[in-house]
A and B are shown apart, each in its own frame.
Chain A
Amino acid sequence: MLLFAAALLNAQNLTLEAPNVVAEGEPFRVVFTADGSVSDFDWTPPAGLTLMWGPQKGSSSSITIINGKRESSHTTSYTYLLNAAAKGTYTIPAATCKVGGKQCTSNSATVEVVEGEADPAMGQGGGQGSQGQGSQGQSTQGQSSQNQGSASQGSQNSDPAITGTVSNEDIFMRLNLSKTSAVKGEPITAVLKLYTRADIAGFEDFKLPTFNGFWSKETYAPTNLELNRENINGKIYNTTVIRRYMLIPQQEGTIVIEPAEAVCQVRVRASAGRSRSIFDDFFDSYQTVKKRVATPSINFQVKPLPAGAPSSFGGGVGQFNITARFANDSIAANQASSLIVTVSGKGNVTMLSAPKVDFPTDFDVYDVKTTDRSEANGTGGSRVFEYPFIARSYGNFTVGPIKYSYYDISKGSYITTEAPAVTIKVSSDGVEVVDNGGVAGGVRQSVRNIGSDIRFIATGAPALSRKGEFFVTSWPFYAILAAIVALFFIVCAILDKRRKMMADVAGTRNRRANKMATERLRRSKGYLEQGLVGAYYEELHKAVMGYVSDKLTMPVADLSKDNICESLAARGVQQSTIDCLMNIINTCE
């Protein structure tokens, strides 16, 4: 299915293939390829490039039968042979054609034409298969002490095929870094490239760099080496990408990248010093020379991240976005679901730690599952954090907003992004739990502590007192103590007196005289109101006589008007009162 789609996609395309760099006067091929049968092909070579030959139309078709499925493809190609007369950069325009009735336009390409060196090594650009060489590429020699990375100018040209040696300039390897200094955690790309002007037969003892101090990942590791042509200091080299890496510095300071090494088997023509037979002229005699190549070791500067990272900083360096969603919008209680948080963007995606998410406390959250989806070049992509959980109670729960911070290299500061809050509806699971002797209800659970803090301040009245003042040593304490003692004695005194009074009967009668008299008077008044005059006077008399008898502690029988008068006068009762009393007694009698 996929293959079919890819084929369909290809059928639309008309592709142009041309070498990147050619030498002055060197013929080179421009090939247009289309899948399917082509009609109305239209292309004219650009000014400055002369058409040497072509177009040659070629077609090929293939039929594959895999598991009984038959697939056929048909390819048409147009090949031109061009030649550039002068140095410069030329644009090869796009061609148009009709493929299967559909209008197609090819891509365009640029060709750089450099100073002529006659035939460059291998002589074929544009990724064509190698043919038997009659002409071995020229190269420089005498570069013994030069750094492999810098091919020096102005060296004399000679033919390695003749000398039978391979100089450092003919073949070298470089590790190209996108940056020579970076912030810790900032992703960089490294490309291990082999530059050659000689004919390489193979490699031995390939030693790839170890990248100590970096987190590294191979993002491109071709099984078939693809050749490209490149202009290095005015010379045309065949280059091939051996490995492409993404590197993330893990430690601060200077990191030394160890060199990569390889031993190349280079085919050179047999040394000129040897006697050449006539056959040698016919059958080019080649010998394989082993050539060790190594990249220079590189000092890489890693700067630390600035201080003041927010608490939500997850180690990200680059530019990121964060999104969050629940795997399900609604679940039943006690059912598992997950929160999916995606952090995507450019940067060290693989180094990101999971953002901190505050789940509702009734959620049981399990270990975060992390999935990476990195882009082909390795510097971007997304990291998916999956938080599995089980909701233990029902209701609407909101998680977030989830904050996530990263270090933005271009801005040079920490940026905090936020995933908006997401809501999940947890419905009751409908399972009635019967406990507590058959009373239906939810599952009872103990109150869990989810945090601890000191208690709040006292808010009531402060009950302030002077410092160093204590009740026990203050005068009120002793005053109250004295008062209690005093109270005790006073109560004692009162009680003693009372007891004494209780003891003597006369005193009691004396004290009760008033009460008795008042009682009798009230009764007499009652008689008067009823009109019982006799009874009234009788009672009145009794009251007065009784009172006097009680007061004077004399029996009623002993009382006479005379001794009443005397006794009362002796007790200091006024004469008028005595007279009045006498009057009443007289009246009553």
Chain B
Amino acid sequence: MEEQYRDALKTITEIESGVKKGTKNAKKAVAIVVALMFAAGWSLTASAAGNELWQSAAEAYSNGDWQGALTQYQQIEQQGLVSDKLYYNIANAYYKNGELGESILYWEKALKLNPSNADAKFNLEIARESVLDRIEVVPEFILAKWVKDIKYLLSSNAWAWVALSLMLLVAVALLGFRYFRTLGLRRFAFILACVFFVLAISSFIFSLSERHDVVSESEGIVMLPVSSVKSSPGEDGKSLFILHEGTKVEILDELGSWLKVQISDGRQGWMPAGDVQAI
């Protein structure tokens, strides 16, 4: 009697397997896409060597060997590797070594890469105390300032990830818009999708613009103890004002080996390119 039961089970399974098939392709596709996303993520975090140098440099710094630490950090930099932490540590080593201009340059570099680096901000404030030039900053339009404040909350890479996450949310909201049953929910999902999309686009723009800040090298630090700003490019230009080591200038233009610079109170002039180091 047991036989019939077993036979029935077997028969049903066989018929089932014959009739089914298909629908699995969709799952496969999703799996591939997710795998692709992870692969892309990993490809970013995988970084080259330099960790050993990083460790030994930190040790040298702890022991008060600023010069030694500096040399090792510079070796990492020469390998073409960067990070805000690397710039920050280089700046610290420079500062301890008594090189004010260089240290300010590297803190600014660290902040360019990651504007949310609080340590770099703090140290830069301390270093600026020693800068001789005090320039009245022209107040900015309040909206522009807000946008800037928001932009400098995160680094370029962080904004890129935020943009991706928001795009994912847009996709989810659109799905909701498409498949929710009640009209109210669908309307809500649509609005949500629109908001997320706008935010995603802004994040994307922030990310691109921060990248542009770094790539364009539009700001510089005066590296010479004393450097005069002239009215025209060339030695025979009239000296307009004098800047000291560590002062930040905006680089507006370049003509031969002369840079057109603007200080934060709006005054402009020309400086030899060697006197200013771009951030």
Q: Which residues of A contact B (CB under 8 A)?
A: 452-468, 470-477, 479-481, 483-488, 490-495, 497, 499, 510, 513-514, 517-518, 521, 524-525, 528, 533, 536-537, 540, 543-544, 547, 551, 568, 571-574, 577, 580-581, 583-584, 587-588
Contact = CB atoms under 8 A, between A and B. Distances in A.
B58 A459 contact: yes
Interface of B: 1-2, 4-5, 7-12, 14-16, 18-19, 23, 26, 29-30, 33-34, 36-37, 39-41, 43-44, 47-48, 50-51, 54, 58, 61, 69, 76, 80-83, 85-86, 88-89, 92-93, 95-96, 119, 122-123, 126-127, 156-157, 159-161, 163-164, 167-168, 171, 174-175, 178-179, 204, 207-208, 211, 214-215
Given A466-B81, A476-B40, A584-B11, 11 more contacts: A455-B119, A462-B83, A462-B85, A466-B48, A472-B159, A472-B208, A475-B40, A480-B36, A483-B36, A487-B171, A495-B175
A483 B15 CA distance: 38
B97 to A, nearest CB: 12
Given A454-B92, A466-B81, A480-B37, A471 B157 contact: yes
B44 A514 contact: no
A454 B9 contact: no
Contact of A580 (B10, B50, B171, B211): B10
A229 B95 CA distance: 71
A574 B19 CA distance: 11
B37 A455 contact: no
A188 B10 CA distance: 124
B192 to A, nearest CB: 15
Given A464-B81, A467-B82, A577 B14 contact: yes
A125 B171 CA distance: 123
Nearest to A588: B4
A263 to B, nearest CB: 61
7 contacts: A457-B88, A457-B93, A462-B83, A466-B82, A470-B207, A480-B41, A487-B34
Contacts of B207: 470-472
A444 B247 CA distance: 41
B54 A462 contact: yes
A494 B178 CA distance: 13
A572 B26 CA distance: 25
A583 B157 CA distance: 69
A480 B12 contact: no
Contacts of A484: 37, 164, 167-168, 171
Contacts, number: 199
A471 B208 CA distance: 10
Nearest to B168: A484
Contacts of B34: 483, 487
A463 B10 contact: no
B168 to A, nearest CB: 5
Contacts of B9: 518, 521
B122 to A, nearest CB: 6
Given A457-B88, A525-B5, A583-B7, A464 B76 contact: yes
Nearest to B117: A458
Is chain B's interface secondary structure helix, strand, loop, or mixed overall? helix
**Nearest 7 A-B pairs (CB), nearest first?**
A476-B40, A458-B85, A472-B207, A464-B81, A472-B160, A454-B123, A488-B171
A571 B19 contact: yes
Contacts of B26: 490, 493-494, 497
Contacts of A477: 40, 160, 164
Contacts of B93: 457
Contacts of A574: 14, 18
A542 B265 CA distance: 92
Nearest to A453: B126
B12 A518 contact: yes
Contacts of B1: 528, 533, 536
Nearest to A499: B179
A490 B44 contact: no
Contacts of B88: 457-458
Most B CB contacts (10 A, CB to CB) among A455, A465, A473 go to A465
B113 to A, nearest CB: 9
Contacts of A517: 8, 12
Contacts of A460: 85
Contact of B48 (A464, A480, A495): A464
A491 B93 CA distance: 53
Given A455-B122, A464-B48, A468-B215, A483 B33 contact: yes
A470 B157 contact: yes
Contacts of A480: 36-37, 40-41, 164
B30 A487 contact: yes
Contact of A573 (B8, B18, B43, B160): B18
Contacts of A466: 48, 80-82
Contact of A473 (B76, B96, B161, B211): B211
A493 to B, nearest CB: 7
Contacts of A481: 164, 167
Most A CB contacts (10 A, CB to CB) among B10, B96, B160 go to B160
Nearest to B89: A457
A193 B2 CA distance: 145
A411 B216 CA distance: 62
A471 B8 contact: no
A524 B85 contact: no
A583 B214 CA distance: 80
Nearest to B16: A514
